[in-house]
């Protein structure tokens, strides 16, 4: 019977630089940047939205929420830090912009 080699021996546990959660090295690119896999993915998505000026679609927003949920289950992790670091993925975290049109407050889009 083979031993469980899912985590290569000697690869350490480290704390993600963004969410501060304890994580194992499962993604080499993420680990080289000191990020957990979820924060690494969010950072890439955040860059994309920043570069092309798009807001997350509904399905992307659901996926980002799932990444935050995975982060929330990690020891020592802060979902708020992950949100704050990725303001293009989570534009709802910004203050809502509203304007009085004479009759009612309207969202500024």
Residues making contact with Zn ion (CB under 5 A): 16, 18-19, 36, 39
Residue 36 or 89: the one with the smaller Cβ distance to Zn ion is 36
3-state secondary structure string, the chain?
Answer: CCCCCCCCCCCCEEECCCCCCEEECCCHHHHHCCCCHHHHHHHHHHHHHHHHCCCCCHHHHHHHHHHHHHHHCCCCCCHHHHHHHCCCCCHHHCCCCEEECCCCEEECC
Task: Quote the crossing angle between the two packed helices 37-52 and 58-72, to the nearest 10°.
Answer: 150
In the complex, what is the shortest distance from the CB of residue 12 to Zn ion, in angstroms, rounded to a whole number? 15
Residue 47 or 54: the one with the smaller Cβ distance to Zn ion is 47
In the complex, what is the shortest distance from the CB of residue 105 to Zn ion, in angstroms, rounded to a whole number? 36
Residue 32 or 54: the one with the smaller Cβ distance to Zn ion is 32
In the complex, what is the shortest distance from the CB of residue 76 to Zn ion, in angstroms, rounded to a whole number? 10
In the complex, what is the shortest distance from the CB of residue 77 to Zn ion, in angstroms, rounded to a whole number? 6
Residue 65 or 98: the one with the smaller Cβ distance to Zn ion is 65
């Amino acid at each position: 019977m083979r031993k469980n080699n899912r985590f290569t021996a000697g690869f350490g546990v480290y704390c993600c630089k963004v969410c501060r959660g304890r994580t194992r090295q499962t993604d080499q690119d993420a680990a080289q940047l000191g990020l957990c896999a979820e924060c690494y993915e969010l950072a890439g998505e955040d860059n994309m939205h920043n570069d092309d000026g798009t807001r997350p679609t509904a399905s992307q927003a659901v996926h980002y929420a799932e990444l935050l949920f995975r982060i929330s289950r990690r020891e020592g992790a802060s979902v708020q830090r992950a949100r704050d670091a990725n303001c293009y993925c989570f534009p709802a975290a910004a203050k809502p912009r509203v304007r009085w049109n004479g009759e009612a407050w309207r969202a500024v889009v």
